[in-house]
Amino acid sequence: MKVAVFGGSFDPVHNGHLNVVSELLSLEKFDKILVLPSKNSFFGKKLHPFSARLEMARIAFSNFDSRVEVSDFEGRNGIESTFELAAALEKAHPEWEFVFVIGSDAVLDLGKWKDNERLLENTKFLVISRKGFPAVELPSHNFEFVRAKVELEISSTDIRNRIKNFEKFSHLVPVDVEDYVNDKGLYGIN
């Protein structure tokens, strides 16, 4: 089984994330798309509670077909890096072929990733174009580049800032995620 691994902080989940999963489904290359909210930031960023981000991901991706699965794998396994995640997934599912999905913006930071040399040697990546980050030189043969049909310029940081500043954000997130953020008082909403 070929599995796309789409990880991230999802703090919060937004329409750009949904667009990536739609792109992955349209490629018809994957039997499963595994959406994995990270328990902690691999780069030391402060994140909102894992349980809230996991629930937002479950809400946001609930309308996709059964090939899309939101998992708490990182939360259950104390994963500290993408390399550890790849190794843990392969150990848990040796019969699956994993391809890690990243945005073209993330390629520029691969040198900062923990155990990046071993990761790049042993892991397959699918790089999806992101607005403002054109095609970049890919570091190895384990990378494939896909130009997204629609490149949305949305960031979780921008959404969090909009919420803190009492600015409209409903056009950037799924309606049910907006309701969850409002109901739980996340990101400074009271």
pLDDT at 22: 95
Distance of CA 73 to the CA centre of its chain: 13
Q: Is the pLDDT of residue 172 over 90?
A: yes
Residues 6+ apart with CB under 8 A from 164: 187, 188
Residues 148 and 130 sit within 8 Å (Cβ to Cβ):
yes
Structure tokens at 33: 């798309």
Give the pLDDT confidence of 97-129 residue by residue, as tens digits: 999 999 888 877 877 888 778 888 888 999 888
Structure tokens at 5: 């691994």
Q: Which residue has the higher pLDDT, 153 or 84?
A: 84
Q: Is the pLDDT of residue 189 over 80?
A: no
Angle, helix 50-60 to helix 175-184, in steps of 10 degrees: 150
Residue 4: pLDDT band (50, 70, 90) is: very high
Q: Is the pLDDT of residue 138 over 90?
A: no
Q: Can you list the domains of the chain with their CATH numbers? A: 2-151 (3.40.50.620)
Q: Is the pLDDT of residue 137 over 70?
A: no
What is the rounded average pLDDT for all residues in the chain? 89
Give the pLDDT confidence of 38-60 residue by residue, as tens digits: 988 766 778 999 999 999 999 99
Give the pLDDT confidence of 19-29 residue by residue, as tens digits: 999 999 999 99
Q: Look at residues 38, 39, 14, 8 and name the one whose alpha carbon lies nearest to residue 101.
A: 8
Give the pLDDT confidence of 67-82 residue by residue, as tens digits: 999 999 998 888 888 8
